Amino acid sequence: MNDAAGPRPLVVTVGEPSGVGPDITLMAHRRRAEWSLPPFVLIADPEMMARRAERLRFDVTIRTVGSIAEFDVAFDGLSILPLVNRHAEAPGRPDPANGAGTIEAIDRATRLVLAGEASAMVTNPIDKKALYDVGFAHPGHTEYLAELCGALTGCPVQPVMLLTGPELSCVPVTIHIPLADVPKALTTELILSTARIVAADLRARFGLNAPRLAVSGLNPHAGERGAIGREDEEVIRPAVEILRHEGLDVVGPLPGDTMFHAEARARYDVALCMYHDQALIPAKTLAFDETVNVTLGLPIIRTSPDHGTAADLAGLGTARPASFVAALRLAGRMSSIQNEASAS
């Protein structure tokens, strides 16, 4: 990269081309100066992006770059690292033929951040079913990135999903599994390892020196002292006690229905929830437009908007870019914290 160009850019993956990823990326790029966004390079099919820009009536100059080194922050257009696997421009119509390109973008972005060429990756939403149909064997980015980073670095990774917004930050301890499998998957060990990763990354990546965690129960009323399910007393409470013993500021198990009101939220930095919807329903209800999905536990920084492909809005120009913008900003902030820590 041109030295005069400043810090390393973020790398953005295009996500599902039939969704709103291309739209919100173009929207953010268009107003990047006004919104003071960190510079980014997009991995996408340049022709598909040009067609989407035309459909949205956005006047944008696209420049394809062969590597991040060719990125120049002074260039006024959109810099794209072109995909080898092509993407069709068909809003609202997911096509398995796009799958290879979608996965290629994630793979290349991961390698670029691991190699230190890009500062962090911001992923646009993928259509999970469309990828499963072409053999993608991971529930989502979260698990895929863990496997990929583990394979590329030789260090196994436990990925932790954090949804963070202005009102609430929360983590589902079990992630993309059927609700019926949650009680079996939930172990004291899993709660311990998740909480330790959350605490370590809050310190290292968010600059929060003394993180306060709240751990939810699993059952109604956190099990009513064992009368409504045993997991709260037998699995969750022992984890909370061990974590407290380790010196972490942690409370729980708290009843899930009363831990998300404003006064309760003020008492913790991150809520550890026992399953996907217990965490994501309050997060997306309180701040759908500003919440960001971050994968903790990785050797790289990865953020993403909290929403999905919103295929019903693709190509219309009505998708809101706010969560994507928040994901760009957070990735920029996290990489500054990382740079400051490595400089000191």
Ligand X SMILES: N[C@H](C(=O)O)[C@H](O)COP(=O)(O)O
Ligand Y SMILES: NC(=O)c1ccc[n+]([C@@H]2O[C@H](COP(=O)([O-])OP(=O)(O)OC[C@H]3O[C@@H](n4cnc5c(N)ncnc54)[C@H](O)[C@@H]3O)[C@@H](O)[C@H]2O)c1
Which residues are known binding-site members? 141-142, 176, 221, 276, 284, 293, 302
307 is an interface residue for ligand Y by CB under 6 A = yes
Q: Which is nearer to ligand X, 250 or 310 (CB)?
A: 310
Cα separation, 165 vs 260, whole angstroms: 13
Chosen from ligand X, ligand Y, none, partner binding at 142 (C-beta under 5 to 8 Å by type): ligand X
Do residues 52 and 23 make contact, with C-beta atoms less than 8 angstroms apart?
yes
Window 260-289: residues binding ligand X (CB under 6 A):
280
Q: Which of 94, 101, 140, 297 binds ligand X (CB under 6 A)?
A: 140
Q: Which is nearer to ligand Y, 52 or 307 (CB)?
A: 307
**Cα dihedral: 185, 189, 195, 197 (round 10):** -100
Q: Which is nearer to ligand Y, 106 or 254 (CB)?
A: 106
Peptide bond into 159 cis (omega under 30): no
Binding piece for ligand X, criterion CB under 6 A, among 14-22, 50-58, 134-142, 315-323: 134-142
Q: How far is the CB of 93 from ligand X (least distance, A)?
A: 21
**For strand 160-164 and strand 292-296, is the pairing parallel, antiparallel, or unpaired?**
antiparallel
Backbone angles phi, psi at 81, to 5 degrees: -85, 115
104 is an interface residue for ligand Y by CB under 6 A = no
110 is an interface residue for ligand X by CB under 6 A = no
Binding piece for ligand X, criterion CB under 6 A, among 82-90, 140-148, 214-222, 233-241: 140-148
Q: Which is nearer to ligand Y, 278 or 293 (CB)?
A: 293
Interacting residues of 84 by C-beta distance below 8 A, sequence separation 6+: 101, 104
Q: How far is the CB of 140 from ligand X (least distance, A)?
A: 3
142 is an interface residue for ligand X by CB under 6 A = yes
Cα separation, 271 vs 252, whole angstroms: 10
Residue nearest to ligand X according to CB distances in the complex: 140
Q: Which is nearer to ligand Y, 191 or 310 (CB)?
A: 310
Residue 259 DSSP symbol: S
Listed residue (155, 124, 131, 122) closest to 295, CA to CA: 122
Instruction: Give, in degrees to the nearest 5, the angle at Cα 294 between 67 and 123.
Output: 35
16 is an interface residue for ligand X by CB under 6 A = no
Do residues 110 and 149 make contact, with C-beta atoms less than 8 angstroms apart?
yes
**What is the Cα 61 distance to its own chain's centre?**
28
Cα separation, 137 vs 31, whole angstroms: 36
Taking the CA atoms of 233, 235, 236 and 239 in sequence, report the sign of the dihedral they define: positive
Site string (62-101) toward ligand Y, x via CB under 6 A: ----------------------------------------
Chosen from ligand X, ligand Y, none, partner binding at 111 (C-beta under 5 to 8 Å by type): none
Do residues 273 and 172 make contact, with C-beta atoms less than 8 angstroms apart?
yes
- Residue ranges for the binding site for a divalent metal cation? 176, 221, 276
Binding piece for ligand X, criterion CB under 6 A, among 45-53, 136-144, 206-214, 230-238: 136-144
CA distances from residue 10 to 58, 77, 156, 263 in whole angstroms, order as listed: 22, 15, 24, 36
Binding site residues, ligand Y, CB under 6 A: 20, 24, 125-129, 140-141, 293, 304, 307-310, 312-313, 319-320
Binding site residues, ligand X, CB under 6 A: 140-142, 280, 293, 304, 306
